[in-house]
Amino acid sequence: MDARVLAISPEAPGTHMSGPAIRYWQIAQALAAEHAVTLAVPGAPALETSHMKIAGYDRRAGAELRGYAAEADVLLCTGLTLYRYPFLRDQPQPMVVDLYDPFLLENLEIHSALPLTEQTAHHRMNISVLSEQLQRGDFFICASEAQRDFWLGMLAANGRLNPLTFGADRTLRRLIDVAPFGVPETPPVQQQRRLKGKHPGIRETDQVIYWGGGLWEWFDPLTAIRAMAAVTAHHPNTKLFFAGVRHPNSDVPPMRMAAAAQALSDDLGLTGRSVFFNDWVPYAERGDYLLEANLGISLHFEHIETRFSYRTRLLDYVWAGLPMVITRGDALGVLAEAHGLARSVPPGDVPAVAQVILHWLDQPDGRAVVAPRAQALAADLRWSKVIAPLAAFCRAPRRAADQAPVSRPRLNPTLLAKGWHSLRARGLRGLWRDVRLYLNLR
């Protein structure tokens, strides 16, 4: 059936977007192909579309969400939404909780420089926020099978793996399934030049290594910067371009890693010569940058976050057919390497990073070889395909088996009276047997 879906985005889609805003903008559009979707965004909507309704809400109180929710058949939320707007917990509609971002693990790193007491306080709050979501949700989506295993453990700890949910579906796919990030339905098309011959310091003849997305604490841009000395010794016209160092969401605090990367590049005398830092690439222009680049790169540290991550920046590289240099470990990186799109390196290995970069740059037809493989993989990663479990839920929304109203055990008054007289006559001996005999539970 066509459902009325309320998707509550934690960030407002606009000209500059990071992961959460991109995800909700794309999910809402994909669902709108068969459902009546309202995309609720904090503040005044900055984008328009004829495919769905975009409605603003006050970030502090979220009062408008009450009215939007009352008109919906399905609620979709993520992150701190339930924590910030607790009245949503009491809505009777089925609720989908989006767990694609394991922020519990990310925040361990983000807060690691704080005093231990403050780290502990943040962590306890994150556990509380997550538990609230895990206890309320009727259906959960995440980004990979590895994530699903992680969240199944969390759901078990919150009592959601039980005879009712198991009885409803022994695979538990009715409770939690995989709906990751996706790529647009069509490949990127070059609109205009953005990098070569346009960006100060980058010439038309240069080869560009593109670092998509931001510089978060668990990423390792430092190794990429250090590798540039060896790379430029063989290919002096190579440039490393960081697409975003300033998060478009002002609520996100500056990352220590962004400052560390710029400081290292400055110390090595590379900034403005072979290493370039950009504030944030506009979302609608990212295809131009990707199509001009020669190579995509994404490096991270050996970290628990990596085990359960889904490096969405790699999806842009797949979408644009870019060869990749990646640190091994995350689910999407494994997929890219298996399809011959990427070569992986150990964490923090500067010589290995330089060697793989040179491998790709020494192949004049490297991108031509990779592009058909990338197109084949991208066909399976389109938004319309990856959200299939969510779209299916919206066609037949339901409360979870352990969330739906259940009949309470009822007492049979006649048998209860007989049991009471028997207990008086016999004392407490055989109490449990008599209770089971005289209480008619159904």
pLDDT of residue 85: 96
Nearest to 398 by CA among 95, 38, 5, 173: 95
Residue 428, pLDDT > 50, answer no
Q: Tell me if domain 4-182+384-395 and domain 207-381 are identical in fold.
A: yes
Measured CA to CA, the distance from residue 338 to residue 341 in angstroms comes to: 8
Pick the CATH number of 4-182+384-395 from 3.40.50.300, 1.10.260.40, 3.40.50.2000, 3.40.50.2300: 3.40.50.2000
pLDDT of residue 421: 52
Residue 440, pLDDT > 50, answer no
Quote the tokens at residue 49.
């579309």
Q: Work out the mean pLDDT of the chain and round it to a whole number.
A: 90
pLDDT of residue 405: 65
pLDDT, one tens digit per residue, over 105-122 is: 999 999 999 999 999 999
Residue 327, pLDDT > 70, answer yes
pLDDT, one tens digit per residue, over 233-268 is: 999 999 999 999 988 877 777 889 999 999 999 999
Residue 208, pLDDT > 50, answer yes
pLDDT of residue 427: 52
Question: What average pLDDT score do residues 331-335 get?
Answer: 92
| Sequence spans of domains, the chain | 4-182+384-395, 207-381, 407-442
pLDDT of residue 303: 87
Quote the tokens at residue 209.
């290594």
Measured CA to CA, the distance from residue 95 to residue 400 in angstroms comes to: 9
Dihedral of alpha carbons 41, 381, 282, 35, sign = negative
Nearest to 360 by CA among 343, 345, 346, 375: 343
Helix (H) or strand (E) segment spanning residue 241: strand 238-242
**Superfamily name with CATH number, domain 207-381:** Glycogen Phosphorylase B; (3.40.50.2000)
Question: What average pLDDT score do residues 211-230 get?
Answer: 95
